[in-house]
Amino acid sequence: MTSTADAGPSVPIELPEALRHVPAVLLSEFPERVTPRDVERTVADIYAELSSSAKIAAFLPILTEKVARDRLAEVTGRRVRRSGRAA
């Protein structure tokens, strides 16, 4: 999974404290299929999308993780088990 947007200099992605563990969790589920930068960008983008219209902010971290996992599974061709973890 590569992006032309990542071609420039690498700028650190700032995630809210409640989401800082999510990229590491997801990277462990998709180790040879995506780069750490791709995972961080996916999590940050999804968080931005969800937070713009969220009614209850307390659910944003878990929802962001789930949607990011689903999106990474889709682009890597990996299926997600019912438990929510990538297979």
Task: Please report which confidence band the pLDDT of residue 7 belongs to, taking 50, 70 and 90 as the band edges.
Answer: very low
Q: What is the pLDDT of residue 15?
A: 87
CA distance 87 to 85: 6
Helices (H), ranges, the chain: 22-29, 36-51, 60-76
Structure tokens at 87: 């297979």
Q: What is the pLDDT of residue 50?
A: 95
Per-residue pLDDT tens digits for 16-40: 899 999 999 999 999 888 999 999 9
Q: What is the mean pLDDT of the chain?
A: 83
Contacts of 1 (CB under 8 A, 6+ apart): 33, 34, 35, 38, 72, 75, 76
Q: Is the pTM of this model over 0.85?
A: no
Judge contact between 25 and 65, C-beta under 8 A: yes
Per-residue pLDDT tens digits for 40-80: 999 999 999 999 998 998 999 999 999 999 999 999 988 77
